[in-house]
A = this chain, B = another copy of it.
Amino acid sequence: MNIKNNWIAHIHQLQDRICTALEQEDGKAVFVEDQWERPEGGGGKTRVISNGQVFEKGGVNTSVVFGEVTDIMRNQLKIDGKSWFACGLSLVLHPVNPFVPTVHCNYRMFELYDGTENAKGGLEENDAVVVDRWFGGGTDLTPYYLFEEDARHFHQTYKSTCDAFDTAFYPAFKKECDDYFVNWHRNKERRGIGGIFYDYKRPADDKDVQFWFDFGVACGEAFLPAYLPLVQKRKGMAYTAQHKHWQEIRRGRYVEFNLVHDRGTLFGLKTNGRIESILMSLPPTVRFEYNYQPQPGTEEHKLLNACLHPVDWV
């Protein structure tokens, strides 16, 4: 078994395929890659697209990082062990057109070792010293205008993916997503209309390491079929300055969630992560207006309602 190296190979080829498909969809902008190294171990490939015809800003990043377990990790992540390894793909896309939704996805694995040998170099497989290993991930959608058929397509794609593994997954992971991407300070307004989210998936009962590996792969594979049809359907729609204005107001909420509540962002900012790769997620142009409230009955208000009261889309 070579779970770690298989996962690394998987996220790198997934990154390649997603970038190629998105460039094709955009038709103008291409991804620019920054390879970076982490002084404490490992590094990543940050690929950023900007000022495209379809994508105003976006990133499709992978990282393969490892190191010794520090006190801040012990406290904040509640983990034990002497060294760790993490590897994942993370993407955020902010489209130009306010009728095309923003999307985020992240699929990752984590290992803990009782020795420190894996903290350096770190990539040889050595099951004997693995004391813990888990998978996590999710994909969620942040529309600015609500097209119910789009919401259903997105959720249905992930439901079908989940159902092939366990029919209990979609309802549970949909709820975890609704409960995670919450602006708690805004009357529990969600960042968007959700998707799926799962974390700390360890081997248990009939679900072994390979099961969770395969599930993570399947969810990553579902990203393009879940999202691209929405882009294709909406990217040509005419929009006004008012639509763009609302998009920028809602992007403000995206910023609030990511900087105030998102565990991954805050952990990265406080543990010497690569700042530019972490904050790649922030939208390109944003507006903060005092006490902005959409009028009842408008399309803007309808979207807001769906963020305040999560809907069962399928």
Q: Which residues of A contact B (CB under 8 A)?
A: 34, 48, 50, 57, 59, 184-186, 248, 252, 255-256, 259-260, 266, 269-270, 275-276, 279-280, 282-291
Contact = CB atoms under 8 A, between A and B. Distances in A.
B288 A252 contact: no
Contact of A284 (B184, B275, B287): B287
A222 to B, nearest CB: 26
Contacts of A255: 255, 259, 286, 288
Nearest to A288: B282
Contacts of A286: 255, 285-288
Given A284-B289, A288-B279, A260 B266 contact: yes
A286 B259 CA distance: 15
Contacts of A282: 252, 288
B59 A269 contact: no
B280 A284 contact: no
Given A259-B255, A260-B269, A269-B260, A50 B289 contact: yes
Question: Which 4 A-B pairs give the minimum distances between C-beta atoms?
Answer: A282-B288, A259-B259, A185-B269, A286-B286
Q: How many monomers of this protein are in the complex?
A: 2
Contacts of A275: 185-186
A195 to B, nearest CB: 23
Given A259-B260, A285-B285, A290 B270 contact: no
Contacts of A289: 50, 57, 284
Contact of A290 (B59, B184, B260, B266): B59
A55 to B, nearest CB: 12
B266 A291 contact: no
Contact of A185 (B59, B270, B287, B288): B270
Nearest to A48: B290
Given A185-B275, A276-B291, 18 more contacts: A34-B291, A48-B290, A48-B291, A50-B289, A50-B290, A59-B290, A184-B270, A248-B285, A255-B259, A255-B286, A255-B288, A259-B259, A259-B260, A260-B260, A260-B269, A279-B288, A285-B285, A285-B287
Contacts of A50: 289-290
A263 to B, nearest CB: 13
Contacts of A248: 285
B291 A283 contact: no
